[in-house]
A and B are shown apart, each in its own frame.
Chain A
Amino acid sequence: MFVAIEDVSFSYPNTQAPALDRFTLDIKKGEVISILGRSGSGKSTILRLLAGLERPKNGRLVIQDETLFDDKTFLQPEKRGIGMVFQDYALFPHMTVGANIMFGLSDMKKADKKKRMREMLELVELEEYEKRYPHQLSGGQQQRVAIARAIAPNPHLILLDEPFSNLDAELQGKIRKDLREILKKANITSIFVTHDEKDAHILADRIVKLKDGKMDFVGRPCDMLDTFRQEAIAESEEVLKSKPVVHV
């Protein structure tokens, strides 16, 4: 397996309920996984644990035979080779687009850095924006820069936290398709978190549904439709049952 998450649990300090409860998932190389769930279901926690921004209570995290976390190891985030696209993009406001993308390319010659940066800009179709600052870009452009920045160092895995939540509806449709294309072109394994089923269906190879820190469903998008339908039927029956009869 390329990425292995084994039996991972986590709870935030000063809280009782676990944010993630014995979560296990294997991911193949090049696969696009979508984690679906309501807010508070623990979906963003998985990303933060993989990235090394939080430390699991127990379990094991492995990428390409390298252990990121177990009883004895905790690899710092900068050593993990994982890229992340933040919900608000977190582009460094004091650096140009070019400098933002080159920030993660530390062990390279200057000319190589520039070359790689230009490749990335080409990939996200923003060639002319190298010298601009983040605040001079639209929301959609900022997001593409964030993706380019995360992919540039060639990470094993890229994590995307609610990648579409800050975009207006019209843009979302276009960017969903673009994103899938970019990810597939770069052949990067990726996990993205969303609360929107449509995102998951269009983008993902596999969908993981989370509920209260536990896995609720895992499968291909088409499998999910069935369970989803059944759930909806069950729910509506319940509503009908509990509804008091109103006499006029």
Chain B
Amino acid sequence: MQRRLANFNIWTVGAVLIILMLFLPNLTIVTGFFTPSNDNWEHMKEFVLRQFVINSLILTLATAFFTILIGLSLAWLVAQYDFPFRRFLKWALILPLSIPPFIGAYTYHGILNFTGAIQTVLREGFGMELDPAYFDIMNLPGAIFIYTMFLYPYVYTITQVYLSEQSASLIESTRLLGKGPWRTFFQVVLPISRISIIAGASLVVLEVLNDYGVVKYYGIQTFTTAIFQSWFGLGDLDTSIKLAASLMGFVIVILLIEKLLRGRRQYSYFSTKVRPLQLIPLSGWKGFAAAGYGMLILSLGFFIPVIQLVDWTILTFGTIPMEEFMRYVQNSVFVAGLSAILIVAFALIVGNFARMVQGKYTKLLPKLTVLGYSIPGAVIAVAVVTAFVALDGYLAPLYLAIGLETTLVLSVSIVLLLAAYIIRFFAIGYNSIETGYDKIGTNFRDASRLLGAGPTKTFFKVDVPMMKGAIISGFILVFIDVLKEIPLTLILRPFNFDTLSTKAFQYASDEKIMEASQASLLIVGISALAIVIFYKILEKEMD
């Protein structure tokens, strides 16, 4: 007890409170699963649950397969060979990440449908009347295509960084041992990059399970759409909770598979000496083929949808009153900015706690907070609403005492939405902050304490200024993610509160895809800019 009391200070209390706040709402899902079931749930379990599971499985597995195929092949080309446009492609291939899949989904539908660019050109330019069914993208394969085109950068970036920086001696020795490029790839590159491939692919899988926009727009039944349907269509939150719990079970299975696939090598070997791989020049048709392949993927994942969005924006400019549009921009910046600030502040407190505590179990505590990112938005939405309604229940006497007429206060306010963002995206900010703390180590903190500064002064005068880079990058990453977010914002926003992404989604759902383009283009523009800035900062740090 003595030992503990001495370390007990306001920082510890704050950190523990934040961890609990991030973790507890998810527990409501687990407990909700074991409440007695009603007819809706029985019906779903009997007739449709199987289809949800099958659809979700097909989507995740197929997307994982194709993103690995594309992500790994591009990473290998960029890391190992020199060909035209290589330097440009190296960073530009990340850009598709700036297009949220639902925006890609409705853009491609717009390009391919009867009045879209392709069919119109074929019809009017070449007089070809083709069966519109050939161009139907609103189905399972179409959704897989969309996910693959906009999510492959997760696999590409992680693997490319690993291959370019970490594998030089391994690959060079393989070459010296006289192996050709194909055998090098299959016998060495594939096995050694396994960890980064799995890391990237599991991010892709979690994104697919989290997605609501694409499957909703394409009319595909998955867990996520079912959660919303039973909640809003049937008004049955209990069944939503049960579905959410099943989905969480699904996610846990995936996380376990990831762990299993990584095997005992929890952490890949990272040598501290960064030595770039000597590039092999590809000449003639081989070089053009490599450049062409990279350009094709980049066009499908970025240029084509962006050009289409620009075209639509020009066509519809002025149809949405500027004043209204600016309000969406303001709302978006407000929620994204505020949640990014809160997340970074909380991450600083929890990160500081994580490096100060000792003991096996307390060290695990901060890890709990990272779970949020693997939990799909729909599940978090259900959890947060359940928790806030309960909280309002506890606070009801207080509300009445201060003269309010309703007992639902917090659960209909913007606090609800912010809480959900914080739970979902905390891990993104925390990763960045944690890396920052790792980099500065504990010596500066110790030095400051020995010079008479207490923990609080040390935090503000020494830790925070030294972590500027980590703080900025954490903020940017969270900001973009909130900006693009769809399911949480859609369900949890206060009445009449619209952001760029909810507006884009609504216009698209109402088949006003041209009107949706302005908000979409702005989201894509901001995200792309942030990605470029982020990449440049990263590159500078590596030098």
* Residues of A participating in the B interface, judged by any CB pair closer than 8 Å: 13-14, 51-53, 55, 71-72, 74, 76-84, 86, 88, 90, 92-94, 103-104, 106, 149-150, 153
Contact = CB atoms under 8 A, between A and B. Distances in A.
Contacts of B466: 92-94
A203 to B, nearest CB: 21
A150 B447 CA distance: 9
Interface of B: 2-3, 6, 358-360, 443-444, 446-454, 461-462, 465-466
A82 B450 CA distance: 6
A78 B444 contact: no
Given A88-B443, A93-B466, 4 more contacts: A78-B454, A80-B450, A86-B447, A92-B466
Contacts of B450: 51, 53, 77-78, 80, 82-84, 150
Given A14-B360, A55-B3, A149 B443 contact: no
A153 B452 contact: yes
User: Which are the 7 A-B pairs with shortest beta-carbon distances?
Assistant: A104-B451, A90-B447, A77-B449, A90-B443, A74-B6, A94-B465, A84-B450
Given A94-B465, A104-B452, A153-B451, A86 B6 contact: no
A228 to B, nearest CB: 33
A150 B448 CA distance: 10
Contacts of A80: 450
Contacts of A79: 452
Given A92-B466, A94-B465, A84 B454 contact: no
A78 B452 CA distance: 4
B446 A106 contact: no
10 contacts: A14-B360, A51-B446, A53-B446, A53-B450, A55-B3, A92-B466, A94-B465, A94-B466, A103-B461, A104-B452
Contacts of B461: 103
Contact of B444 (A77, A90, A150): A90
Contacts of A150: 450-451
Contacts of A86: 443, 446-447
A88 B446 CA distance: 12
A78 B466 CA distance: 20
B449 A76 contact: yes
A78 B453 contact: yes
B443 A13 contact: no
A86 B446 CA distance: 9
Contacts of A13: 358-359
Contact of A76 (B447, B454, B462, B465): B454
Given A13-B358, A93-B466, A55 B6 contact: yes
A79 B465 CA distance: 24
Identify which of B444, B447, B454 gathers the most chain A CB atoms within 10 Å of its CB: B447
Contacts of A76: 6, 449, 454
Contacts of B2: 71-72, 74
A104 B6 CA distance: 23
B449 A149 contact: no
Contacts of A52: 449
Contacts of B451: 78, 83, 103-104, 149-150, 153
